[in-house]
Amino acid sequence: MTSKTIIIYTPRANSKRIKIRVPYHMINERNVLKQLNSSFWHPIQRLWSVLNTNENMAYLKRVFNGCVTFINENNQIQISTPLLNNASVAAVNELEKILVIKRYSKNTINVYKKMFTVFIANHQHLDIKTIETKTIENFVQQLITKNNISASYQNQIINAIKAYYEHVLGLPRTFYEIHRPKKEKALPNVLTKTEVIKIINSPKNLKHKAILYTIYSAGLRISELTRLRIIDIHSEDGYIFVKDSKGKKDRKSILSPYLIELLRLYYKQYRPSYWLFEGVTGGQYSVNSIRCIFRKAVEETESNPWATVHTLRHSFATHCIENNVNLRHVQIMLGHSSPKTTELYTKTIEINNKKINSPLDGILNSDIL
């Protein structure tokens, strides 16, 4: 069935873009949208976006009046979290202690503490040690129906609750078998090869350029880039050693000859002492600074405005597959435990007749006829 209306996704308060989905047959409306200075087509998501300003929203409402459906993205209702009593505070502290001992990352610990606090704050009238699975699932159901939490939020709060009962109280996993949401199958955002080369060549500062080159050329996470040491660059053997990546795993990724030359120029100019990329006063380079470098490059090159530093990693994986790199090699370079995670990138490759020949071409070019 063909949609007859344009869909505008009412953005969250902190969103930088307004998402718009225009049905294929609405050619005139699509041409109007193209005239906006900040309009951008996102091929993976199959929608348009413009800068989130009051002027742009008013313009969209005016020109598309009568053929628009609004879908509110800002739909999660604030969850009540009463002050914790002494017993609840002690439970949260116990969870934090065990997660620290198990060497969970700081970010994971903070998320689990926040989520477990939401749960325990709403169950202080009960003995936390005797709460049953049914009570937990009823609470999660309430968050879904009354607070409109996302599937991601639902998973996080389940993980935090299970961490307390399994790691702190030592109960078996089967005891608290909490139902989870069906996995979303959204495709990662990917840049074209042209966009990538424009973005990573955009910085005039040699260190900034070297940072973006390193992230893309090896498919690194931003945290992995900041933890790279000088000794992790193995020029002779052609690989980058990534220590303590996600899940406390070490791995190797490819070291491009072009990156080697760029890093040598960078090293001669900046002379880092231990970390490959160091701040002005020494120590690891700031994650926020890397995000600023990338955001500036995206704006200067007028590339995909939804792209983040992590998009370079997604693009690395997709472009490797497009270049016929063995999927197992891509999995190892990305540090994925399961090949199913890596296989997602097979769905983001660019499909056109410049890259792939239709079987029709083979038949008509053969001697069959």
Catalytic residue among 16, 252, 296, 310: 310
Amino acid at 156: Q
Decide if 318 contacts 355 (C-beta within 8 A): no
Any idea what DSSP says for residue 324? T
**Rounded to whole angstroms, how far apart are CA atoms 219 and 333?**
7
What tokens were used for 300? Answer: 């200067």
Q: Is 310 a catalytic residue?
A: yes
Its pTM stands at 0.69
Q: Spell out, as residue ranges, where the chain has pLDDT lower than 70.
A: 1-4, 13, 44, 73-77, 174-176, 182-186, 351-356, 360, 364, 367-369
Decide if 342 contacts 336 (C-beta within 8 A): yes
- The SS3 assignment for 57 reads helix
Q: Is 246 a catalytic residue?
A: yes
**Rounded to whole angstroms, how far apart are CA atoms 68 and 4?**
9
Q: Is 123 a catalytic residue?
A: no
What tokens were used for 282? Answer: 């020494």
pLDDT at 292: 94
**Rounded to whole angstroms, how far apart are CA atoms 131 and 88?**
13
Catalytic residue among 17, 19, 313, 319: 313
Helices 257-270, 206-218: axis angle to 10 degrees equals 150
Assigned fold of 86-176: DNA polymerase; domain 1 (1.10.150)
Amino acid at 321: I
**Rounded to whole angstroms, how far apart are CA atoms 349 and 235?**
30
Catalytic residue among 9, 112, 266, 345: 345
Q: Which residues pair with 251 in a beta bridge?
A: 242
Quickly count: other Cβ atoms within 10 Å of residue 337's Cβ.
11
Helices (H), 279-337: 287-301, 309-322, 327-334
Catalytic residue among 221, 227, 314, 319: 221
Q: Is 336 a catalytic residue?
A: yes
Q: What percent of the chain has pLDDT over 90?
A: 48
Mean pLDDT of the chain: 87
193-347: which CATH architecture?
Orthogonal Bundle (1.10)
Q: What's the start-to-end Cα distance of the chain, in Å?
A: 39
pLDDT at 269: 95
**Rounded to whole angstroms, how far apart are CA atoms 149 and 147?**
6
Tens of pLDDT, residues 87-111:
999 999 999 999 999 988 888 899 9
pLDDT at 354: 65
Decide if 73 contacts 20 (C-beta within 8 A): no
Please tell me if the domain spanning 86-176 has the same topology as the one spanning 193-347.
no
Angle at CA 347, nearest 5°, toward 345 and 352?
Answer: 115
Q: Is 42 a catalytic residue?
A: no
- The SS3 assignment for 350 reads coil
Catalytic residue among 246, 252, 295, 296: 246
B/e letters for 350-366, b = 16+ CB within 10 Å, e = fewer, are: eeeeeeeeeeeeeeeee
Q: In sequence order, what E strands does the chain have? A: 6-10, 17-21, 40-42, 47-51, 68-72, 233-234, 239-245, 249-254
- The SS3 assignment for 124 reads coil
**Residues belonging to the chain:** 369
pLDDT at 1: 37
Domain boundaries, the chain: 6-72, 86-176, 193-347
